[in-house]
Structures are given as structure tokens and as C-alpha cells.
Amino acid sequence: MTVRTRFAPSPTGYLHVGGARTALFSWLHARKHGGKFILRIEDTDLERSTAESVNAILEGMTWLGLEYDEGPFYQTHRFDRYNEVIEQFLDTGKAYRCNCPKERLEKLREEQMAAKLKPRYDGHCRGRHIDPNEPHVIRFLNPQDGTVVFDDMVRGKVAFQNTELDDLIIRRTDGSPTYNLSVVVDDLDMEITHVIRGDDHLNNTPRQINILKALGKEPPRYGHVPMILGDDGARLSKRHGAVSVMQYRDEGFLPEALLNYLVRLGWSHGDQEIFSIDEMVELFDIENVNKAPSAFNTEKLLWLNQHYIKSDTPARVARLLSPHMGELGVDPAKWPPLEQVVAMQAERANSLLELARISAVFYQEEIEYNEDGAKKNLKAAATEPLTRVRDKLAALDDWSREPIHAIIHGVAEELGLKMGKVGMPLRFAITGGVASGDLDLTVYLTGKEPSLQRIDRAMGYIQQRATD
RNA sequence: GUCCCGUUCAUCUAGAGGCCUAGGAUAUCGCCCUUUCACGGCGAGUACAGGGGUUCGACUCCCCUACGGGACGCCA
């Protein structure tokens, strides 16, 4: 039997990291076993489902590269099928109509809570005749005794007493089916073999198994993966720190970094930290996923992001970096080639945003001085070395790294100065800051004319300071 | 409140009864490399929630307590 897994989000918001990890695990499980990964949109909640959310989820999946083999299927397109099952249940006495008013249900709940009981529907309408033309819901007749046991792929054996369960609503007053019914019918019709989902669904599983049994079908295998907590240990939710996967893209994260981070959250393979997609597919095993929830740690994500920024080809990083450069108001299509800048700067940035920030200086007409750095580096003592470097650079025909390197070192030697005394003022003059890559490379990439202009400006700054 | 689930460094984790003086990674700190910032290298500190069993031996098995999470919807 071929493995078939699915990701079944409800379109009531964007795709966040928790959902993305569940989708990743499900996708990996299918890929590992040469199976199919199906995308299903659970939009039976007509009130809250939106097309924008569907698009946001699709966009997130695409960005992460979690391509699906079938779907997206929409539950709203399958109402006829759900109704068919509901009618079948009604005909065979496995479901019944209920018209209990909200007030009765609320009172019941309060009484049960007061008696320290678990709030459950009491089966008041079981066996009562209710006119199908009156407003009513349909409830599934849950078994009243026995135990539902299943072997969860991550939790192991889990058991629930049927006495803990109640007769859940499977069709609303407005005629729409509810989640627990539609999910069972869909997983059945779509021949899902492995249901991998968040553990907030663990409590729903026995209900779904009971519905499946009423249908005379065998349940699939279940794997309930724990929730992801925020940096502060509280549950990650849309209201609390759960950011959209797309926000990570906007903040300069590489999809492979997020994927690598997510796969290591709750799962591991010995001491290995870095996993290519192929390695994940090969090594991932849902049975090795931890049972305990884990906290999202942005610091580690940043570390992985830096790893991928510096190990991916400069060409690819440059392509992803380009839009971020544009947002900073510079044109990366101009000199120097962005690829070369990336090759030099990659190890200094843990996000594309940071990379853009430290690289913009190569494309700016007018650079900004870091004040402390200016005080420290543009002093009278820097005039002589700067002048000499400037003149030699101006006379340089072959604008390339080696001669630039020779000039800087030559000046230090001539003046009997340590490299720092020449290098730091020059670095500051060229970049306006105290941090940059190799000095000769930095000068080279800045270009001849811009370099000369920047040195002139620095010397002007020194003079200005002397007269103040 | 009831039911379900969980608990190893700050964080992600290794650990399937003796391999554990509890390993790795991130973060932090120190040293080295270095004209700067990084990268890299080396090193340091920090953890088995608590209590009872079982066993010759428990991070590993069982029970209790504490703490955390989830569920208890005409949401999914």
C-alpha cells in the first residue's frame, strides 16, 4: 500500500511556523516512503474561511518548497458527499436529530462543571422524534462504553474511555458538516494512510475513530506532533508571537534555513545539525519525533540562516538579496557586481536584511559616517597615510586587488607605521564604518573614482576637525 | 473542574538499565587567528523537576506529587 499523507489547514489565517512544521513532517513522511502528499483546505467554517488565507497558505508552502502531489481539495466542494454519509448514519440509527436550545446546553454545562464533571452532551434527544423541517443539528451516536485505543506514531499507545466522549454534532443547523465528520470522510475517500497533525487534535482522534468504525472502516495511522512554544515558553499562536512563514522571507531568511530549523525542532539524528532536503527525506522518521513541545529559538534559526547564506552560491544569495537592496534605496545592478559583494560579505550577516544593510555602502553616492568611528579614525595622524594612499591609487591603471594591496602595505612600510594606522583610517574613509571585509577587496569593489572621492571627503573631514 | 499528554543545560537535543565523571548544537564568556568586523580553531560554565519504589545497578522501568501544555464549541 502506498503511503499517502496530507496537510489540512483551515484557511482562517496565514501559514505560521507550527503549521509549516506539521506540513514539513507530513511531506517528509510521504517523500521518504515514495508516497503522495495531499493538500486539503478545511473550509467548512463558512464564517471564518477566506480566499486570502488560502492564498497565503499556498504562498507559504510554495516558498518552502513543500509541493503537493494532489489538491488542493476544498471541503466546501464536498458537502454532497458529507451529507450522503450523514443521511446514511441517520438511516441506520447511528446519528440523530437534536434541537436542544442553547440555554439548556449552557445550564447542563454549568451543572456538570459544578459537580466536577467533564462537560458533555447528555444525549437528551437520543430516541426523540424531531421534525426534520424544524431547525436542528445532527449528532453522532457515540458508543457509551468500551475504550478506544490506538498506537500513535509519536505518542505510542493512547487510550480513551468512551464514557469520556459525548454525542458530537456532525451537522450544524445551517446544514453544513462539522470538522470531525468531514475530516473522517475525506481521509477515507482520499485514502490517507498516515495522519500527521498537531497534538491539539489528539482528543479528537477517538471520536474520529468511532465515526470510522460506524462506517465499518479501518482507521489510518496517526502521528500527533507536539506544539511549538514561543521564545518565552508560552504556546505559539497567532495572537502570541507566531509569525507568518512569509514574514521570515521578508526578514531575510532562506527557506532552507527555516526548513532545517523546523526539522530539528522535536526531531534529531544523532548530533547532526545541518540537513539538506535530501538528507531530511532520507533520515527523517516520524517515530523519532519527541513527545514534548519545544520552544522556538530565533537565535539558532539565525545561526542556521548564516550557515546557508555563506554556503549557498553567491549567485543564488545575490538573487535573493537583490530586492532587499532595493528596499534600502540602492540599485544593486550597478557596479560592483552584487555576487562579488555577497562572496565577501556573506560570513558577516545572519540574514539577508543584515547582508543588505552592510552591503548598501558599495552602491551609495554619499556614505554616512559612524560618529564614534570618525572620531577614532579620522585624526590628524591619518592625513599623511591617506594622502599617500590616495595619490598612489589615483595613479593606478590596473584597478585590481593585488596592486591595491601592495599600495596599502607599501605606504605603511614607507611611513614605518603599523598596518592599523593606515588601514583603519582608509577603511573608515571608504565605508564610513569600522567593520568591513578585506580592505583591499573593499577598496577594489568600491571602485576607483568612488574610492578617491571618499578619501578626499575623509581628509576634508580631518581638516574641518582641526580648525574647529 | 474533568480527561488526555508531557518534563535532560537558558534554548534545541543525544541517551532504548551498566558505554554517563550525562554527549552535541545555539547563546554566553575566555584564548588563538587577524589592519577592523566577521568566519574559523581551542577552551569554560550551566541540566536528568521532586519524592518513593523495582533492581546488584536507574536519566532510562513503575507509582505519587509538582509544574507545563492540550481538549472539553453548531472552530478546525
How far is it, in rounded angstroms, from Cα A39 to Cα A412?
65
pLDDT at A232: 62
Q: Which three cell numbers stand for residue A291?
A: 513527545
Q: Is A109 exposed, middle or buried (0-12, 13-18, 19+ CB in 10 A)?
A: middle
CA of A206 to C1' of B41 (A): 54
CA of A372 to C1' of B68 (A): 47
Q: What is the CA radius of gyration of chain A?
A: 32
Instruction: Please name the nucleotide lying closest to A119, CA to C1'.
Output: B72
CA of A187 to C1' of B15 (A): 36
Q: What is the 3-state secondary structure (H, E, C) of A50-81?
A: CHHHHHHHHHHHHHHCCCCCEEEEEHHHHHHH
pLDDT at A241: 55
User: So which residues of A are the catalytic ones?
Assistant: 238
CA of A230 to C1' of B26 (A): 16
CA of A112 to C1' of B62 (A): 34
pLDDT in tens, chain A (468 residues): 899 999 999 998 889 898 999 999 999 999 999 999 999 999 988 888 899 999 999 999 999 999 999 989 999 999 999 999 999 999 999 999 999 998 899 999 988 988 888 889 998 999 888 899 999 999 999 998 888 989 999 988 888 889 889 999 999 999 999 999 999 999 999 999 999 999 889 989 999 999 999 999 999 999 999 988 876 666 665 545 557 899 999 999 999 999 999 999 999 998 999 999 999 999 999 999 999 999 999 999 999 999 999 999 999 999 999 999 999 999 999 889 999 999 999 999 999 999 999 999 999 988 888 888 888 888 888 899 999 999 999 898 999 999 999 999 999 999 998 888 999 999 999 999 999 999 999 999 999 999 999 999 999 988 887 777
CA of A200 to C1' of B12 (A): 22
Taking the CB of residue A145, how many other CB atoms lie within 10 A of it?
A: 7
A201: Cβ–Cβ under 8 A, 6 or more apart, which residues? A224
Instruction: Please name the nucleotide lying closest to A405, CA to C1'.
Output: B35
Instruction: Please name the nucleotide lying closest to A44, CA to C1'.
Output: B76
CA neighbor of A253 nearest in space, from A203, A196, A296: A296
Amino acid letter at A169?
I
Instruction: Please name the nucleotide lying closest to A161, CA to C1'.
Output: B3
What are phi and psi for residue A79, nearest 5 degrees? -60, -35
Using a 7 Å cut-off to protein CB atoms, list the covered nucleotides of chain B. 1-8, 11-14, 16, 23-27, 35-39, 68-76
Residue A175 zone, left/alpha/beta (φ > 0; ψ -120 to 50; rest): left
pLDDT at A234: 60
How far is it, in rounded angstroms, from Cα A100 to Cα A107?
11
Q: Is the dihedral of CA A320, A322, A326, A329 positive or negative?
A: positive
Q: Is the distance from CB of A317 to CB of A356 less than 8 angstroms? A: no
Instruction: Please name the nucleotide lying closest to A11, CA to C1'.
Output: B76
Q: Which residue is nearest nucleotide B12, judged by alpha carbon to C1' distance?
A: A265
How far is it, in rounded angstroms, from Cα A328 to Cα A281?
38
CA of A281 to C1' of B10 (A): 31
The pTM of the full predicted model, rounded to 2 decimals, is 0.93
Complex confidence, ipTM:
0.94
Q: Which residue is nearest nucleotide B11, judged by alpha carbon to C1' distance?
A: A297
Instruction: Please name the nucleotide lying closest to A154, CA to C1'.
Output: B5
pLDDT at A307: 97
